Amino acid sequence: MATGYEDIDSLMNQQNNLLNEQQKKQADLINQQTQIQTDELNHEKEKIDKDVDKTTSGLYTNWQKQANQYGAQAEQLAQQGLANSGYAETTKTALYNTYQKNVTDTLNNARDLKSDYDFKIAQARQQGSVQQAQAALDLYKQRAELLTQNYELRQNREQYLYQKERDKVSDNQWQKTFDEQVRQNEIENQWKQKNYDYQQQRDKVSDNQWQQNFDYQKSRDAVSDNQWQQNFDYQKQRDNVSDNQWLQSFNYQKSRDAVSDSQWQKQYELSKKATASSKSSRSTSKSSGKSSKSSSGGGLKVNGSNNTKSNQYTAKDVIANMKVLQGPNTNGAVKDGISGKTFSSPDALLNYYGYVGVN
């Protein structure tokens, strides 16, 4: 069954084989030495046990750092969104299995080395060769270094494999993000195309509506222009009629003003006659039963039938209260302001009060 460490195991086997060859060569060269050298080898053996404890302790400390949920590796997984994922649990399990395997390998190798060392010491004692034991000790140290190197290689391999997996995850995430962006772009492009097509259709409808409005407004403008022309022609005709009516009114008023001027002149003349008649009446009223005498230049004389009224109002009073009527078919008629009656002429009015005009 493949473990993923075949290349590392192969390297370790090669190095162990080299060490075995070195050991064999050194064994051929080592001679027996004294018991002091053997005691010294035993002391070094105790140091080896300490080194083994130190190595296993280092392995445990390193595993604790990597498996710590608040460590750098856990923080890196949390930043990548894999804190509670199956991949994180798999990584923790792999780290623990690696730690157990490394510890087991270390202990097994240490036990083997110690067995080899004891054998070498016994052999050295038997052979009296301290150099043989020293060579075994050196070989053990080299093997211990190989164990440390093996652990570091495995750790590097774990980091490499982990980074490789993370790269796969990152690549997968990037691919998903890229695919989603492509999909979003396609949707956006489809929406833009639909919007463009709809807007183009709406523009055609708007252009058609504008053309209809323009044609209708054009026809309405033609109708309005025709109506305006009709109104203008009618107003022009009405202005001509109004001008003609005004001219007729003006000419009629002008003739009426001439009549009024003539009537005023007549009233003025009558007023003068009334004044003269009043003076004549006052001069003749002292003579009892006599007729009024006429003046040498002409004037008014009292009519005997209306003598009572003439005594109440003088001719001047009658003329002063007279109003000349104006308007069509009046023909110089006047209205008496005293009695309220209408007379055909000022002479008729004076006759009503008993005055007769004479020259």
Write out the chain in H/E/C secondary structure: CCCCCHHHHHHHHHHHHHHHHHHHHHHHHCCCCCHHHHHHHHHHHHHHHHHHHHHHHHHHHHHHHHHCCCCHHHHHHHHCCCCCCHHHHHHHHHHHHHHHHHHHHHHHHHHHHHHHHHHHHHHHHHHCCHHHHHHHHHHHHHHHHHHHHHHHHHHHHHHHHHHHHHHHHHHHHHHHHHHHHHHHHHHHHHHHHHHHHHHHHHHHHHHHHHHHHHHHHHHHHHHHHHHHHHHHHHHHHHHHHHHHHHHHHHHHHHHHHHHHHHHHHHHHHHHHHHHHHHHHHHHHCCCCCCCCCCCCCCEEEECHHHHHHHHHCCHHHHHHCEEECCCCCCCCCEEECCCCCEECCHHHHHHHCCEEEEC
What band does 56 get if pLDDT is binned at 50, 70 and 90? confident
Which has more confidence, 101 or 327? Answer: 101
Give mean pLDDT, residues 188-193. Answer: 95
Give mean pLDDT, residues 179-203. Answer: 95
pLDDT of 224: 93
Give mean pLDDT, residues 242-247. Answer: 88
Residue 116 predicted with pLDDT over 70:
yes
pLDDT of 206: 94
Residue 330 predicted with pLDDT over 50:
yes
What band does 19 get if pLDDT is binned at 50, 70 and 90? confident
What band does 115 get if pLDDT is binned at 50, 70 and 90? confident
Give mean pLDDT, residues 16-36. Answer: 70
pLDDT of 297: 39
Give mean pLDDT, residues 307-334. Answer: 77
pLDDT of 280: 67
Which range among 56-70, 211-225, 242-256, 288-302 shows the weakest confidence by mean pLDDT?
288-302
Tell me how far apart the alpha carbons of residues 110 and 56 are, in angstroms, rounded to a whole number. 11
Residue 91 predicted with pLDDT over 70:
no
Residue 17 predicted with pLDDT over 60:
yes
Tell me how far apart the alpha carbons of residues 301 and 250 are, in angstroms, rounded to a whole number. 42
